[in-house]
Amino acid sequence: MCKTAATQRHTRAMKLLVLCGATTAARTVCAEPLRLRADAVAEAQAPAGLVILEGQDKVRPWLYAEGLVWTGTRSDPKTDPAADVMVLAVRLRDPRGFGEIKGGRFVVSTGAVRPVQIDGAHALGRAPWQTTTLEAFAGAPVVPRFGTTGYDWLGGGRVAQTLASRATLGASYVQRRSHKDIADDEIGADLAAVPVPWLDLAGRSAYDLTSPGIADALASAAVRFAPMRVELFAAHRSPSRLLPATSLFSVLGDFPSQSIGSTVRWEAAPRLDLLASGAGQRVGGEFGGNGFLRALLRTDERGEGSLGLEGRRQDVSTAKWTGLRGLASLPLGHGFRYATEIEIAVPDAPRGRGIAWPWGLVALSWRSASGWEAAGAAEASSTPEHRYQMNALFRVSRTLEIR
């Protein structure tokens, strides 16, 4: 009996060894390398130091793995985490594209489901006629600092139909529970369409089943005709429905905020892009608006160097401020680059928080062809909390590609 078990173990071990050997052998002809990156980031302010490690590999066309973790020093052990896992996911995919399954820690976002980071699984299946897809996901929402909460889970799915290769229509459902109680229970619809090559349409809406009504809805229509792109957009949000239904603040009733506006991008000259955006808003029964104008000038044909200027105005409810931002990013040769960014925001009602909030950063970076990077910056600002604040930032990175 023991001999049989030992033989079975031996056979399984041999199979595993052969599989590993085959995988290793396959790597020699693999088109995509194993990508690794390590960053060491240091700041004069908290968090004072961080080490970030990330890696991704498409071992085979059907197998993909990715990880991103960080660890850092603590300024306050009670509130600052010492380490966390941001992504740790493995994806298996049918090479013909008829299905995939993903497991681990990742951000799930599909249809009307707003992005949520979960420890769980996500599966996607496509019908043989290719135009219908079915998605399902389930897991536990991530709690920072390796924390846990009891009976906290999330599950849902989406079914989508592509119409004449021009449009995709989807319907989704998500339920989230917190300590056994329903925190989110929503159905949603989404649409993306390109009826003609110069017109993009997209929309999504989520309907709250706990407190029946639209939780949020977004729509966008963009027209492209060189050298311009014009987008019209609209948004509707019900803040009380966006909160978990277990929160006491979700019972205050529906006071939605709405906005409607347009963004225009104009390639005014081969090296000059202009972007203008404006929107009318309704917040808590009051009307207002916001807008910005941004110019970006490339200093060379390839856009390696650039100068930018942006003006912004926000005027709605109690949020009224004007801002101006300038940036420069210029190559200095031999892998060196100089970058600077300056911003000043002026609130209409300072209320003891300072009449203006300036912020500035000057950075110098270096990048080698062998994958080393180093950058240092000095940052200065004045905020509502601090009259002045100085900070120094450093980063050393190493990128490796192993074939």
Q: Report 10-69 residues binding other proteins (CB under 8 A).
A: 31-33, 39, 41, 47, 50, 52, 54, 56, 61, 66, 68
Q: Which of residues 287-316 bind other proteins (CB under 8 A)?
A: 288, 290, 296-299, 301-302, 306, 308, 314, 316
Q: Compare residues 3 and 96 and give the one whose CB is closer to other proteins.
A: 96
Under rule CB under 8 A, residue 154 binds other proteins: no
Quick one: 112 or 173, whose CB is closer to other proteins?
112
Binding of other proteins by 174 (CB under 8 A): no
Task: For residue 89, state whether it binds other proteins (rule: CB under 8 A).
Answer: yes
Joined together, the tokens standing for residue 45 give 């302010």
Strand partners, 213: 208
Which of 40, 171, 345, 396 lies at the binding interface for other proteins (CB under 8 A)? 345
**Which is it for the CA torsion 57, 58, 59, 65, positive or negative?**
positive
Question: How far apart (Å, rounded) are the C-alpha atoms in residues 159 and 204?
Answer: 14
Asked if 341 touches other proteins (CB under 8 A), the answer is yes
State how far the Cα of 365 lies from the Cα of 324, in Å rounded to an integer.
25
Binding string, residues 184-223; x marks residues near other proteins by CB under 8 A: ------xxx----x--x-xxx----xxxx---x-xxx-x-
Nearer to other proteins among residue 21 and residue 284 (C-beta): 284
Rounded CA-CA distance 93/103 in Å is: 12
109 part of the interface to other proteins, by CB under 8 A: yes
Tell me the C-alpha to C-alpha distance, in Å, between residue 122 and each of 105, 146, 192, 276: 10, 21, 22, 38
| Choices 4-12, 16-24, 148-156, 282-290 (CB under 8 A): range interacting with other proteins | 282-290
Of 135, 146, 88, 80, which is closest to residue 113 (Cα–Cα)?
135
Sign of CA dihedral 15, 16, 21, 24: positive
Q: Does an H or E element contain 181, and which? A: strand 181-196
User: Least distance in Å: CB of 13 to other proteins?
Assistant: 32
